[in-house]
Amino acid sequence: MTSSSSSARIRLTTDRLVLRPWTAAEADAVLDGTGSAHWADDFPAEGDRVIAGLFDDNPAWLGEHGHRLIIERDSGLVVGSIGLFWPPHEGTLEIGYGIVASRRGRGYAPEATLALAEFALGAPGVHTVSATVELSNPSSIRVLEKAGFHRWTTEENTARFRLTRPDTGEQR
């Protein structure tokens, strides 16, 4: 994974993906349904519309440690989104992700999740990235396991996973 800065908007690049912050114009396009030639045919998914609708109330989500679009490097198309729910709470950030149906099963979700989690663990005051998954969603559980997250609690219908900085002494 590498990162580069463009006007303080950091892009993360993996072998097959680019993760870059949303723009306000992209959020508006998702909300009003105008679309873009740079989006996969099935982008945005419902979760992307929900996140785009929350940016006004959560402007930090458009910042360096917020939400990003997932772009397939080969095609240049937006194929999903991933985000950190900034700011951290007691050193922990929650992560969420989604890949459009047409691109699922390619390993994009774990690749993007690991890249953003590693980036987040380098932020000041952050030692843990967590995710909550419904037990009825085994695909999402597998995404987190492939990205190196470990289950730390299980409740009636959900499991919580986390990835911690190695220097914290906790299980990564």
pLDDT at 3: 39
pLDDT at 103: 98
User: Mean pLDDT over residues 92-105, rounded?
Assistant: 97
What residue ranges define each of the domains in the chain, with the CATH number in brackets? 2-168 (3.40.630.30)
- Render pLDDT for 6-55 as a digit per residue (tens, 0 to 9): 334 689 999 999 999 999 999 999 999 998 999 999 999 999 999 999 99
pLDDT at 163: 98
pLDDT at 123: 93
- Render pLDDT for 60-89 as a digit per residue (tens, 0 to 9): 899 889 999 999 999 999 999 999 999 999
Model pTM? 0.91
- Render pLDDT for 102-157 as a digit per residue (tens, 0 to 9): 999 999 999 999 999 999 999 999 999 999 999 999 999 999 999 999 999 999 99
Task: Write 120-127 long-range contacts (CB < 8 A, 24+).
Answer: 120/65, 120/84, 120/93, 120/95, 121/163, 121/164, 121/165, 123/65, 123/88, 123/93, 125/88, 125/91, 126/88, 126/91, 126/92, 126/93, 126/165, 127/91, 127/92, 127/164, 127/165, 127/168, 127/170
